[in-house]
Amino acid sequence: MAAEPLGDVLDASDRRQVGTSGKISLTLKIRRYNPELREDAWWDEFTVSMEPTDRLLDALHEVKWHQDGTLALRRSCAHGICGSDAIMVDGQNRLACKVLVKDVAPKCTIEPIRGLPVLKDLIVDMEPFFDGYRSVLPYLINDEGEPDRERFQSPEQRHRYDDTTKCILCACCTTSCPIFWGDEEYIGPAAIVAAHRFIYDSRDEGAKDRLKILSEKTGVFRCRTTFNCTEACPRGIHVTQAIQEVKRSILFDRF
């Protein structure tokens, strides 16, 4: 008996519904925008059948791949590491790949993150965000020259800034900040988190330069401590605490 062609095997596999009886219905209300079609945004609704433990990103893929190929979104790793699929889900900044379908069913509202120009649908222009990030010198500064061996740190020295090393630059914290929404010059929480990671690194020698940058009117003192950033962070970083620590260093360390 001749072997079934590989293409037929793969097609059959795609058609099989595993655990169909356990699927649930999810209606996605998505804010759309395409400047090539019209000047203003509009809303579309799509209904998909998903496993309860599927991710919201899977549901968006279902829409894009099978219902409307014009839907534009960003995603890469789909495992909460790259941070590229940040969106607003029912009014809160989330990573689409970390939201379970069962937690938002039977209906959820999806919008692009706020405070950044929308390019198309759920895709925003990240350049203003990265401008703020680059401005705080987010890299190790050390003029001692290349060492013969690694620069040692004690566990206590590492713990001092360990929390802010978790940032994945998803922009969830910055685009949840009401100050950032209204002041495009504000450097934003994510940039301050990036600065914090190096300011308190015992191997770094650029803390004074960063603190000077952050002491400007566009820096940390624009923060009004609403905790939106901390609540929005998908990595659980204590963003507001990091901002307050930088404020204290500017006020009391006399850089």
For residue 21, what pLDDT is reported? 58
Domain boundaries 127-142+156-252, CATH class: mainly alpha
CB 134 within 8 A of CB 169: no
**Res. 145 pLDDT band, cuts 50 70 90:** confident
- N- to C-terminal Cα separation, the chain: 81
59, pLDDT greater than 90: yes
- What is the per-residue pLDDT across 203-232, written as a single tens digit (0 to 9) for each? 999 999 999 999 999 999 999 999 999 999
Average pLDDT in the 140-166 region?
A: 93
- In the block, tokens 């015992």 appear at 202
**Res. 100 pLDDT band, cuts 50 70 90:** very high
- All structural domains of the chain with their residue ranges: 21-124, 127-142+156-252
- What is the per-residue pLDDT across 111-137, written as a single tens digit (0 to 9) for each? 999 999 999 999 999 999 999 999 999
For residue 147, what pLDDT is reported? 83
Which value, to the nearest 10 degrees, does the dihedral of the CA atoms of residues 234, 225, 201, 161 take? -40
Closest CA to 104 of 212, 161, 195, 28: 28
Peptide bond into 106 cis (omega under 30): yes
123 backbone dihedrals φ, ψ, rounded to 5°: -100, 125
The mean of the pLDDT values for the chain is: 93
For residue 19, what pLDDT is reported? 45
Q: How far apart are CA 76 and CA 57, in angstroms?
A: 11
For domain 21-124, the question of CATH label 3.10.20.30 is answered with yes
Closest CA to 216 of 98, 101, 132: 132
Q: How far apart are CA 191 and CA 214, in angstroms?
A: 9
